[in-house]
Amino acid sequence: MKSVLVKTITYFFDFLNLMILIRVFLSWFSFKQENKLIILVYQLTDPVLEPTRKLTSKLGLNTGMIDFTPVISLLVLYYIIKPLLITLIYTFF
């Protein structure tokens, strides 16, 4: 049971990381905003990126044209939240 739950969480975070990377690549090119796939990518990544974006603006870390929000979000997801959840699963289940 533990391994199934850990694998599911791992797949979820890997998928979320992939969606954030796709969003970064999409920002480099011009696409129609009505495209359903682009809308889906934005809807999946906005709940992760918006809190980080608000935090960086409150802390005064706005860097102008370069947005470090995806990098910060990826690092927090991969190195803090994912290991914490996996540790909690192995500890309590």
Token pair for 33: 């905003």
Sign of the C-alpha dihedral computed for residues 85, 19, 8 and 48 taken in this order: positive
pLDDT at 65: 82
Model's pTM, two decimal places? 0.88
- For 31-85, the pLDDT digits (tens) are 888 899 999 999 999 999 999 999 998 988 877 788 899 999 999 999 999 999 9
Residues sharing a CB contact under 8 Å with residue 87, sequence separation 6 or more, in sequence order:
none
Question: Cα–Cα distance between 12 and 14 in angstroms, integer?
Answer: 5
69 within 8 A of 49, measured Cβ to Cβ: yes
pLDDT of res. 17: 96
Residue with tokens 């975070």: 13
